[in-house]
Structure 1
Amino acid sequence: MTNVYSFDGILVFGLLFICTCAYLRKVPRLKNWLLSEKKGVWGVFYKAAVIGTRLHLGVALSCFAMAFYVLFIK
C-alpha cells in the first residue's frame, strides 16, 4: 500500500492520472465533455492527456518501473 503523502505515492498518483486522462482522450463522448477546456482547472485534464498521448512510451515505461518498485522493492 502506497502512502499518498510520500514521494513515491505522489509519483504513482501522477502516473495514474496521466494514464487515465490519456485513455479518456480516446473515448469520443468523454473527450468532448472532459477535455474540451484548455485553460483553468479543467485544463489540467487536457494537459495530462496531451502528455500521456505524446509521451506514451515514456509514460508506459515509467508505469512499469514504478510497478516493479512498488511490488518488489518497497
Structure 2
Amino acid sequence: MTNVYSFDGILVFGLLFVCTCAYLKKVPRLNSWLLSEKKGVWGVFYKAAVIGSRLHIAVAASCMCMAFYLIFLK
C-alpha cells in the first residue's frame, strides 16, 4: 500500500490520473461533459487527457516501471 504523501505515492497518483483522463477522453458522453473546458480547474482534466493520449508510450512504460517497483522493490 503506497502512502499518498510519499514521492512514489504522488507518482502513482499522477500516473493513474493521466491514464484515467486519457480513457475518459475516448468516451464521447464524458468527453463533452468533463473535458470540454481547457482553462481553469477543469482544464487540468483536459491537459492530463492530452498528455495521456499524445505520450501514450511513455505513460505506459512509466506505469510498467512503477508496477515493477511497487511489486518487487518496495
Q: Name stretches of at least 5 consecutive residues in structure 2 with no aligned partner.
A: none
How many angstroms apart in 2 are the aligned matches of 1:54 and 1:4? 26
How many angstroms apart in 2 are the aligned matches of 1:2 and 1:70? 8
Aligned length in residues: 74
**Alignment RMSD (CA, Å):** 0.2
Q: CA deviation at 1:63?
A: 0.1
Q: For residue 46 of structure 1, what is the aligned residue in structure 2?
A: 46
Q: Residues 1-74 of structure 1 correspond to what in structure 2 (within 5 A)?
A: 1-74=1-74
Q: Name stretches of at least 5 consecutive residues in structure 1 with no aligned partner.
A: none
How many angstroms apart in 2 are the aligned matches of 1:70 and 1:2? 8
Letter in 2 for 1:63: C
Q: CA deviation at 1:54?
A: 0.1
Which deviations, in whole Å up to 9, do the C-alpha atoms of 1:28-70 show, x marking residues without a partner? 0000000000000000000000000000000000000000000
- When normalised by structure 2's length, the TM-score is 1.00
- When normalised by structure 1's length, the TM-score is 1.00
Letter in 1 for 2:20: T
